[in-house]
């Protein structure tokens, strides 16, 4: 079995090299038969990678511990779903998943566009072939998931905290996002290489970008929710380099999704879009480098391995390639029109882009800071949460405001008087919200107050737009169906507002208290009274569960339990928190029992009340819905774009 | 006929604004913390973080005045230099134990780290399989 997997990966490597070399020659010499052959090689590389992936999946499900990888990441007790999740639980398997998605995405994107954009896809094949060559080489020569050994009786198992449904879905979601960014990058490079730097590559890859961005965004929220319910520290995002590695390409892709609208509509920002798509792709590979090289300290214990230097080399080479390509084709990337007014839709998109990229780069600076200080001062220094929080507020709050203003400004130019009239209702809503919040005593946090005021402003602009559009078309359904991209975007904006309200509420207005409690003793927080009712120990075959039970009275009444699990195989503990959600208030009562003594019943407990935190998870569902609306095929829009871009295609 | 584009001005102002905020932050509020291994800590003092592997016996209680006491050595095990740690605060994360890689933040003085925060590294992800 392992031989089959190994052979399949060698075949993938050969096919990827062929797609790169033959595809490049075919595109350069305009040889159609050779181009078709290179394209077929790309399709077949997906098939051979699928065989390799199937071999590993079967080995995981069958607990075949003769595979070193299977023995290192699973054991006999592991349920099938978690055994399969070990596919991406380790280095080699996750790289195989990356290659599988890359060849699958690449083959599909090329197959869909091969007739409409023949000259462009001829160059896309060698670009995707090049990326696949790198990943298949690493899997064949550096980190093979098909190394074998004498099978031990049992494997090492999967860490208990990773045995969670969120961990089954979160990593593949991120990979679908990371790797998805390769498609717009390959088409952008193809456009530059073929000299067809018009808007066709953007139209061809818009849904690919949107899908990758959705996966990446939703994947991060799944990871945040896992951290919240499983890790047991009361938070959901720690600004850890590995978390930032997923956030940075998402921010760059967010900027790209907005700025392509300016290029489609006005023929501007062509160089900027090329830079953004390259930045998003490079950051996604950089994230992989970061998580596997051990160059920075992270709560995720990534080992220092030789694989990091390969990824660093790939990031450097592909960045230089992208930069050289853009410089070479600069004359083709001249804007068709110019920005006429600083008070226009395109200017608003530009401001939004600058803020998003600034936020992305400041996070990158924070991630790189330890490496830079080590190189410059010979001492590793890190910057923590205050740095990131400061820049999140500095760039995030104006971004929130722009999300409301941007869609209401006219293209080309708008007058101050016109804008004032348009923004009258949203501004009123914002002011009323701010005054009300101060009146009810929620003015203790300035960033929280500003976030809520801006959120009210954005929600009001969305409502104004929907009401205005519905009046014009006669039906909300018709309105959305006629312009799914625009109204899907509004739904995503609403999701971001919910996210902002959730983040502001749970961080600016949360409360916390710690106490040591004997049996019968009580503590109070935010109207809740918690009384220790004792500790129980429940031994099970693979785990011993210790729980402290607390009676709760207040806004909610009942019993809440928290403690820890001690597993036998692997011999790891996990903290089990008690969470009670009040959906009406969006609030969580979050109980962490640090120490529980079964004999005495004495416990040390930390209680947190986190207002509105559940809006963050609701935002994830709304975000998914909005993205689905924007992604849904729209024949009317497609006809519009084809008509507009036809002259460019025939030129 | 379009007039002179304000785009460059907007970009220049934005870049300048970002730089100004950045400089302001690093000048006024920004303070980074040295992150050292036990072998690098000699001669240092003040606020810092130590990355290391927990060794020795775990003594005491993080909630008590005497704190939880343990020692750290270099994560790679190349150096035998040990750092004494006294940690006070909420209980350390559940994965904290002897042999585990941790990052302890606090104040270092007189050869002892007064820890106020412990981060235990999450095991298993992306480490290479033993071969």
Best of B127, B130, B131 to mutate (most A CBs within 10 Å, chain A): B127
Beta strand pairing status for A543-553 and A558-567?
Answer: antiparallel
Supply the pLDDT for residue A241. Answer: 86
Supply the pLDDT for residue A430. Answer: 92
Residue of B nearest to A361 (CA): B18
Residue A645 has pLDDT above 60, yes or no: no
* Mean pLDDT along residues A315-333: 92
Alpha helical stretches, state H, A378-526:
385-405, 416-422, 424-439, 446-473, 476-482, 484-508
Nearest to A302 among B6, B91, B127 (CB): B127
Using DSSP's 3-state secondary structure scheme, residue B86 falls into strand
Q: In Å, how far from its chain's centre is CA A432?
A: 34
Say yes or no for a CB contact (<8 Å) between B49 and A382.
yes
Instruction: Give tens-digit pLDDT for A572-628.
Output: 788 889 999 988 878 899 999 988 899 999 999 999 999 999 999 999 999 999 999
Instruction: Give tens-digit pLDDT for A428-483.
Output: 999 999 899 888 877 777 888 888 899 999 999 999 989 988 998 888 888 888 88
Say yes or no for a CB contact (<8 Å) between B2 and A338.
yes
Place of tokens 């792709």: A281
Q: In Å, how far from its chain's centre is CA A226?
A: 14
* C-alpha distance from A301 to closest chain B C-alpha (Å): 5
End-to-end CA distance of chain B: 69
A 10 A CB-CB count for A416 gives 8
Nearest to B126 among A302, A341, A604 (CB): A302
Using DSSP's 3-state secondary structure scheme, residue A148 falls into strand
- Give CA torsion, residues A346, A283, A507, A498, to 10 deg: 50
Residue B93 has pLDDT above 80, yes or no: no
Q: For the residues of A25-93, what is the DSSP string, one character each?
A: HHHHHT-HHHHHHHHHHHHHHHHHHHHHHHHHHHHHHTT-TTBHHHHHH--TTS-HHHHHHTTTTSHHH
Chain A / chain B CB contacts < 8 angstroms: 149
Length of chain B: 131
Q: Contact at 8 Å (CB) between A143 and A98?
A: no
Using DSSP's 3-state secondary structure scheme, residue A397 falls into helix
Q: In Å, how far from its chain's centre is CA B100?
A: 15
What pTM, to 2 d.p., does this model score? 0.90
Place of tokens 């951290």: A227
Q: Which two three-digit tokens encode residue A84?
A: 């399969």
Q: ∠A173-A562-A78 over CA atoms, to 5°? A: 45
* C-alpha distance from A634 to closest chain B C-alpha (Å): 33
Contacts 24+ apart (CB under 8 A), A462-465: A462/A404, A462/A490, A462/A493, A462/A494, A464/A408, A464/A425, A464/A426, A465/A407, A465/A408, A465/A490
Which residues fall within 8 angstroms of residue B70, CB to CB, at 6 or more apart?
A: B54, B55, B56, B57, B58, B59, B85, B87, B98
A 10 A CB-CB count for A301 gives 20
* C-alpha distance from B30 to closest chain A C-alpha (Å): 7
Length of chain A: 651
Give A-chain residues touching B14 at CB under 8 angstroms. 351, 354, 358
* Average pLDDT across chain A, whole number: 89
Instruction: Give tens-digit pLDDT for A83-135.
Output: 999 998 888 999 999 999 999 999 999 998 887 778 889 999 999 999 999 99
* C-alpha distance from B126 to closest chain A C-alpha (Å): 4
Best of B2, B11, B78, B124 to mutate (most A CBs within 10 Å, chain A): B124
* C-alpha distance from B111 to closest chain A C-alpha (Å): 19
Give A-chain residues touching B51 at CB under 8 angstroms. 297
Between residues A54 and A307, which one has the greater pLDDT? A54
Using DSSP's 3-state secondary structure scheme, residue A617 falls into helix
Q: Is the peptide bond before A570 cis (omega within 30 degrees of 0)?
A: yes
Residue B131 has pLDDT above 50, yes or no: no
Residues of B with CB under 8 A from a CB of A: 2-3, 5-7, 10-11, 14, 18, 21-22, 25, 29-30, 32-36, 40, 49, 51, 63, 90-91, 93-95, 101, 103, 119-131
Residue of B nearest to A294 (CA): B127
Say yes or no for a CB contact (<8 Å) between B32 and A573.
no
Give A-chain residues touching B58 at CB under 8 angstroms. none
* ipTM of predicted complex: 0.77
Place of tokens 């407990």: A605
Nearest to A90 among B22, B94, B129 (CB): B129
C-alpha span between A644 and A264 (Å, rounded):
9
Instruction: Give tens-digit pLDDT for A192-218.
Output: 999 988 888 888 888 899 999 999 999
The backbone torsions φ and ψ at residue B28, rounded to the nearest 5 degrees and listed phi first, read -95, -55
Supply the pLDDT for residue B128. Answer: 45
* Mean pLDDT along residues A376-402: 87
Instruction: Give tens-digit pLDDT for A57-70.
Output: 999 999 999 999 99
Best of A223, A262, A380, A547 to mutate (most B CBs within 10 Å, chain B): A380
Q: Contact at 8 Å (CB) between A335 and A233?
A: no
Give B-chain residues touching A380 at CB under 8 angstroms. 34-36
Residue B24 has pLDDT above 70, yes or no: no
Nearest to A94 among B22, B51, B126 (CB): B126
Using DSSP's 3-state secondary structure scheme, residue A637 falls into helix
Place of tokens 């585990």: B100
Q: Residue A74: left if φ>0, alpha if ψ -120 to 50, beta else—which one?
A: beta
Residue A424 has pLDDT above 80, yes or no: yes
Nearest to A342 among B6, B35, B91 (CB): B6
Which residues fall within 8 angstroms of residue A266, CB to CB, at 6 or more apart?
A: A335, A336, A337, A346, A411
Nearest to B129 among A68, A384, A575 (CB): A68
Q: How confident is the model at residue A520 (pLDDT cuts 50, 70, 90)?
A: very high
* Mean pLDDT along residues A272-286: 94
Nearest to B129 among A72, A384, A595 (CB): A72
Best of B46, B128, B131 to mutate (most A CBs within 10 Å, chain A): B128
Using DSSP's 3-state secondary structure scheme, residue A188 falls into helix
Which residues fall within 8 angstroms of residue B74, CB to CB, at 6 or more apart?
A: B37, B38, B39, B52, B53, B81
Q: Contact at 8 Å (CB) between A528 and A496?
A: no
Say yes or no for a CB contact (<8 Å) between A91 and B126.
yes
């Amino acid at each position: 079995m392992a031989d089959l997997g190994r052979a399949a990966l060698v075949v993938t490597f050969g096919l990827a090299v062929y797609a790169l070399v033959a595809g490049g020659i075919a595109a350069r010499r305009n040889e159609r038969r050779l181009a078709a052959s290179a394209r077929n090689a790309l399709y077949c590389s997906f098939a051979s990678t699928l065989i390799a992936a199937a071999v590993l999946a079967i080995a995981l499900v069958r607990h075949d511990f003769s595979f070193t990888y299977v023995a290192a990441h699973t054991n006999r007790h592991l349920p099938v779903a978690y055994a399969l999740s070990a596919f991406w639980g380790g280095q080699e398997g996750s790289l195989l998943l990356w290659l599988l998605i890359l060849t699958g995405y690449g083959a599909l994107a090329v197959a869909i566009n091969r007739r409409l954009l023949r000259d462009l896809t001829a160059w896309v094949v060698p670009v995707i072939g090049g990326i696949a060559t790198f990943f298949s080489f690493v899997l064949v020569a550096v980190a093979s998931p098909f190394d074998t050994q004498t099978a031990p009786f049992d494997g090492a198992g999967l860490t208990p905290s990773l045995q969670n449904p969120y961990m089954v879905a979160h990593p593949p979601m991120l990979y679908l996002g990371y790797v998805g960014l390769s498609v717009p990058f390959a088409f952008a490079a193809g456009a530059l290489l073929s000299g067809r730097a018009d808007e066709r590559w953007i139209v061809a890859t818009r849904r690919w970008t949107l899908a990758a961005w959705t996966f990446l965004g939703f994947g991060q929220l799944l990871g945040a929710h896992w951290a919240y319910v499983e890790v047991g520290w009361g938070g959901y995002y720690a600004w850890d380099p590995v978390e930032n590695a997923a956030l940075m390409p998402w921010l760059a892709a967010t900027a790209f999704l907005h700025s392509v609208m300016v290029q489609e509509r006005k023929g501007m920002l062509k160089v900027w879009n090329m830079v953004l798509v390259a930045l998003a792709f490079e950051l996604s590979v950089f994230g992989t480098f970061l998580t596997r090289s051990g160059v920075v300290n992270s709560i995720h214990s990534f080992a220092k391995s030789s694989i990091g230097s390969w990824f660093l080399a790939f990031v450097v080479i592909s960045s230089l390639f992208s930069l050289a390509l853009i410089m070479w084709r600069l004359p083709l990337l001249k804007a068709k029109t110019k920005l006429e007014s600083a008070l226009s839709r395109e200017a608003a998109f530009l401001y939004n882009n600058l803020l998003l990229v600034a936020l992305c780069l400041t996070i990158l600076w924070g991630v790189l800071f330890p490496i830079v200080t080590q190189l410059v001062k010979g001492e590793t220094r890190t910057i923590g949460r205050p740095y990131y929080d400061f820049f999140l507020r500095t760039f995030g709050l104006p971004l929130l405001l722009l999300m409301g203003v941007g869609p209401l400004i006219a293209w080309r130019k708008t007058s101050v008087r016109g804008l004032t009239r348009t923004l009258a209702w949203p501004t009123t809503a914002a002011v009323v919200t701010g005054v009300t919040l101060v009146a009810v005593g929620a003015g203790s946090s300035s960033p929280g107050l500003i976030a809520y005021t801006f959120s009210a402003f954005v929600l009001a602009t969305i409502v104004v737009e929907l009401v205005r559009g519905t009046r014009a078309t006669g039906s909300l359904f018709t309105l959305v169906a006629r312009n799914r991209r625009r109204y899907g975007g509004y739904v995503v904006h609403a999701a971001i507002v919910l996210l902002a309200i959730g983040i502001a509420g749970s961080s600016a207005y949360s409360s916390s208290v710690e106490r040591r409690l004997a049996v019968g003793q009580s503590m109070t927080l935010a109207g809740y009274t918690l009384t220790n009712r004792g500790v129980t120990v429940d031994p099970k075959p693979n785990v011993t569960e210790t729980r402290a039970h607390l009676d709760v009275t207040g806004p909610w009444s009942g019993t809440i339990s928290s403690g820890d699990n001690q597993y036998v195989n692997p011999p790891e503990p996990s903290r089990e928190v008690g969470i009670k959600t009040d959906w009406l208030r969006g609030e969580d009562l979050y109980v962490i029992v640090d120490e529980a003594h079964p004999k005495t019943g004495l416990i040390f407990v930390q209680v947190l009340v986190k207002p509105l935190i559940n809006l963050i998870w609701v935002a994830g569902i709304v975000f998914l819905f909005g993205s689905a609306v924007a992604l849904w095929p729209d024949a009317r829009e497609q006809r519009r774009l084809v008509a507009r871009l036809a002259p460019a295609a025939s030129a | 006929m379009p007039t002179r584009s304000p785009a460059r001005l907007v970009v220049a102002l934005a870049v300048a604004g970002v730089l100004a905020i950045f400089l302001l932050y690093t000048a006024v509020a920004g303070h980074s913390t040295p992150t050292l291994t036990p072998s690098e800590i000699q001669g240092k003092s003040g606020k810092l973080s130590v990355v290391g592997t927990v060794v020795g016996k775990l003594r005491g209680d993080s909630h008590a005045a005497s704190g939880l006491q343990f020692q750290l050595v270099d994560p790679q095990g190349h150096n035998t230099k040990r750092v004494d740690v006294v940690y006070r605060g909420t209980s350390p994360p559940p994965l904290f134990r002897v042999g585990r890689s941790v990052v302890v933040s606090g104040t270092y003085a007189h050869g002892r780290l007064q820890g106020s925060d412990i981060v235990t590294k999450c095991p298993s992800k992306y480490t290479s399989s033993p071969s």
